[in-house]
Amino acid sequence: MPLDLFHPTESHLTLRRTVRAFAEAEVAPQATAHDRQERFNLDLFRQVGARGWLGLTLPSAYGGAQQDATAAAILYEELAAADAGFTLSCLSHSVLFAHHLACCGNAEQQSRFLPDANVGRIVAGMAMSESGGGTDVIGMQTTAQRVEAGYLLNGEKMWITNGVLNDGEMGDVFLVYARTSGNGPRGLSLFLVEKGREGFTLGRGVDGRLGVRASKSAQLLFKDCLIPVENRVGEEGGAVRSMVQTLAMERLTMAAMSLGIARRALELMNQYASRRRAFGKPLRDFGQIQRHIGESYAEWMAGRTLVFHTAQRMSASSADSQLDADAAKLYCATMAKTLADRAIQVLGAYGYSGEYPVERLWRDAKLFEIGGGTLEAHQRNITRGLSRLDQLP
């Protein structure tokens, strides 16, 4: 495999080969069972940590591999091709918590949490969405009132990945957004909240979801939860700035997850079309099937090129390429769902049943049109970004 846009160095190529071998041997075999049981595979999560992949973009001072955005895209593409639900838990821990803290936290906060996060000794997440609002971040209702001993946190968060693990056990630590003043973006602040703090409890788990069922999601409740000042991340009122610093990496890696789903769907329909015969010849000899496979390959390659072009333009610690990261997730989310839908069509009744994983791929793909930024939010962001340009580069 020659070095190219998707593997600019030998290190990137080695990473892809290593992660793919692990995903095929360890992740794929457990995917169906954990999807059906709606259980998070903690042992497998720790295996990923032991290989250094939970800390892929973290500083070496905390045990991280200090790799770039291209490496992160490779990791999440390969893992998601095997099990997007499990991979989402890894991403929520590694990107939304650990990478976020590495970008925005101080040295004391980083040394307190990142070494354990790097190897999977703790399971962490980020809490922004609420029952009454997800995309409308500025409208969040959770508050953090300044008091002599720190901040009193009151409110709730919803749809929080890794909020609960299995059997009602809460995740270990979260980055929580809350309003400290006013109504605008400058009134939002960010806090580290650990499991076990008085006033911090687990609400209801979110079971019976359409897809990504091997990750666990829950409501988190805060009632006069006292947070010390040293757990505030960044300046008071500076949470939107820290949010922007990490959004590009979140959207890039989620787009890479969609790529993995799409690639697996394309592989399965291609293999099936060669093996299955109808009217005396392979399915792939029929024009209708050729259209499904041909268009799917072209769309997957277009998405793949967009993702890795964006990854190479951004550093792992900046908000560079925010416009392209929005575009990559916007395109790849729907592209993956479309390819999974075509795979179901090509496989027919087998695709609709649980005998092949394409029905799970379709269910998992839908999340990315909603989570981590809705399609409508990406369309708004792209239009807003382009309004500053008279000509495209």
Catalytic (active-site) positions:
250
- Centre a 10 Å sphere on the Cβ of residue 60 and count the other Cβ atoms it contains: 9
Torsion over CA of 172, 173, 179 and 185, rounded to 10 degrees? -130
**Taking a C-beta distance cutoff of 8 angstroms, is the pair 331, 320 a contact?**
no
**Taking a C-beta distance cutoff of 8 angstroms, is the pair 260, 84 a contact?**
yes
**Taking a C-beta distance cutoff of 8 angstroms, is the pair 242, 233 a contact?**
yes
* DSSP β-bridge partners for residue 151: 146, 227
Decide: helix, strand or coil at residue 178: strand
Q: Where are the alpha helices (DSSP H) in the chain?
A: 10-22, 28-37, 42-50, 69-82, 84-91, 100-104, 107-119, 239-275, 287-313, 322-347, 349-352, 358-367, 375-386
Q: How do 232-233 and 173-179 pair as beta strands?
A: unpaired
- Taking the C-alpha atoms of residue 64 and residue 385, their distance in angstroms, rounded to an integer, is 33
- Taking the C-alpha atoms of residue 31 and residue 35, their distance in angstroms, rounded to an integer, is 6
